[in-house]
A = this chain, B = another copy of it.
Amino acid sequence: MKTGTVIGRIVASKRLPELPPGALLEVQLDYPKDVVVCYDPMGCGIGERVMITIGAPAAWWFAPAHPRVVADALIIASLDNYDTPTPMR
């Protein structure tokens, strides 16, 4: 999993039907410096610090109901008491 901060929101009205309805948030990762668009089932806001999962496990979360889901990144937690990323040594 990766930690990061929500920095934006994607608006895409022209989309495949297999992209589930719901919020798509841009998350800037702490390490490495990168931005990933994540499906958000938790109602997070801009500036919120989150933990995400990327790849096949993100799709499996949807799989029982939506086996052809095209999501590959998912917000899985909002972080408490965690204002800044742990610095690398």
Contact = CB atoms under 8 A, between A and B. Distances in A.
A22 interface: no
Given A76-B15, A77-B14, A68 B61 contact: yes
Contacts of A86: 7-8, 26, 35
Given A36-B1, A61-B68, A68-B64, A11 B80 contact: yes
Interface residues of A, number: 60
Contacts of A8: 86
Contacts of A81: 11
Interface of A: 1-3, 5, 7-8, 10-16, 18-19, 24, 26, 28, 30-38, 41-42, 51, 53-61, 63-64, 67-74, 76-82, 85-86, 88-89
Given A1-B73, A16-B61, A16-B77, 14 more contacts: A2-B36, A2-B37, A8-B86, A11-B80, A14-B80, A16-B41, A19-B77, A28-B89, A31-B33, A55-B55, A57-B71, A60-B67, A61-B70, A64-B68
